[in-house]
Amino acid sequence: MELKVLSLPEDKRKDKFTDESKLGFGKIFTDHMLLVEWKTGKGWVDARIQPYGPFVLDPSCLVFHYAQEIFEGLKAYKWSDGTIALFRPEMNARRFNLSAERLCMPQLPEEFFVDSIAELVRLEKDWVPGAEGTSLYIRPAMIAVEPVLGVKTSDHYYYYVILSPVGAYYASGFNPVKILVEDRYVRSVPGGTGEAKTGGNYASSLKAGLEAKKKGFDQVLWLDGVQRRYVDEVGAMNMFFAYEDRVVTAPLNGSILSGVTRDSVLKLADHLGFKAEECKIEINQLVADIKAGKVKEAFGSGTAAVISPVGVLGYKGESITVGDGGVGNLTRKLYDTLTGIQTGKLPDTFGWVRKIA
């Protein structure tokens, strides 16, 4: 697919951030974006990098009413020698197409997904922050833009990519968060869209999230949608629990997201001498194991949050401290190893890093 580049003259570009420690998450955006359209009978057309700016869309567009939408999240890192690298972008390309398949949207050539992002990031390389814990967050998305109110798959889509220089996802940084086990609302059910990265999953999670916040928790831990008995995921992260010599996470059962960081943690934990297991985690057993001191550490994994230590689990009105409530050794080791590989400070033993500039 041919990619046109319509770049802004230097004097029209925005002022860049001056303090990398104040970036926060997803609040500022770079000068350019990528946009490609798909139309029935034509396929992908008019791929271009253009100045970042609002879309003018008909209020009747399908995405506004029936949420035919998918997205991805990945990051570019600036190394101390100036190299810019992506982390496992082909995994995001593959997952984007799995989400597209579930939402009846067109498949995007995976090579184009990766190469066009590389080209956009190269154009915006001065926007990639380099301070510890910062990166350029890349948000690809696809929306249904056909203006019609009948419930149907769209005849017209926008695939677009925007870029945001970011710091830590949680305002608390790399400090333990408090997670509430949600035993009333559910995120997904077998046969639903839990495995797809689609906006609706996040919209339907907001109510539980707000109620958890009122109770002093940062996020909710979802249980399976049928029995509310087995651990699923946190929405913005997959969850891991570390015992003495093994680390466990929920299996990919069709209801949880197949996280790129989740997959990386499984491989790294194994490499670090832990038995990494994907297994059903029964909530009452888990709580008993935490109380008995058998579960030493808990942490979430995700592109935005990287590795996020979990200090407290709330369940049925009780707040249960995991380990000593601080950042565990394995959690720190995994964070350091993963970010070390991503930022070129540690060797890329697994072939995960793709240098693009």
Contact residues toward ligand COI (CB under 6 A) are 73, 236, 302-304
Beta carbon nearer to ligand COI, 247 or 304:
304
Beta carbon nearer to ligand COI, 73 or 344:
73
Is 177 in contact with 170 (CB distance < 8 Å)? yes
Q: Which residue's beta carbon is nearest to the bound ligand COI?
A: 73
Element (H, E) at 47: strand 43-51
Q: How far is the CB of 59 from ligand COI (least distance, A)?
A: 25
Question: For residue 172, which phi and psi values (nearest 5 degrees)?
Answer: -75, -5
What residues contact residue 333 under an 8 Å CB cut-off, 6+ apart? 272
Q: How far is the CB of 54 from ligand COI (least distance, A)?
A: 21
Taking the C-alpha atoms of residue 233 and residue 97, their distance in angstroms, rounded to an integer, is: 21
Beta carbon nearer to ligand COI, 62 or 305:
305
Residue 132 exposed, middle or buried by CB count within 10 Å (0-12, 13-18, 19+):
exposed
Beta carbon nearer to ligand COI, 144 or 304:
304
Taking the C-alpha atoms of residue 163 and residue 75, their distance in angstroms, rounded to an integer, is: 9
Taking the C-alpha atoms of residue 192 and residue 282, their distance in angstroms, rounded to an integer, is: 21
Taking the C-alpha atoms of residue 178 and residue 321, their distance in angstroms, rounded to an integer, is: 9
Supply the DSSP symbol for 8: P
Angle at 52 between CA 302 and CA 82, to 5 degrees: 60
Q: How far is the CB of 87 from ligand COI (least distance, A)?
A: 11
Beta carbon nearer to ligand COI, 92 or 116:
92
Taking the C-alpha atoms of residue 132 and residue 345, their distance in angstroms, rounded to an integer, is: 11
Q: How far is the CB of 70 from ligand COI (least distance, A)?
A: 11
Taking the C-alpha atoms of residue 98 and residue 95, their distance in angstroms, rounded to an integer, is: 5
Beta carbon nearer to ligand COI, 302 or 344:
302
Neighbouring CB atoms inside 10 A of 125's CB total 15
Q: How far is the CB of 256 from ligand COI (least distance, A)?
A: 12
Taking the C-alpha atoms of residue 285 and residue 291, their distance in angstroms, rounded to an integer, is: 10
Q: How far is the CB of 4 from ligand COI (least distance, A)?
A: 28
What residues contact residue 110 under an 8 Å CB cut-off, 6+ apart? 90, 93, 94, 97
Supply the DSSP symbol for 147: B
Is 146 in contact with 62 (CB distance < 8 Å)? yes
Beta carbon nearer to ligand COI, 223 or 304:
304
Q: How far is the CB of 132 from ligand COI (least distance, A)?
A: 19
Q: How far is the CB of 157 from ligand COI (least distance, A)?
A: 20
- Of 256, 124, 108, the C-alpha closest to 193 is 256
Q: How far is the CB of 262 from ligand COI (least distance, A)?
A: 10
Beta carbon nearer to ligand COI, 145 or 304:
304
Beta carbon nearer to ligand COI, 302 or 328:
302
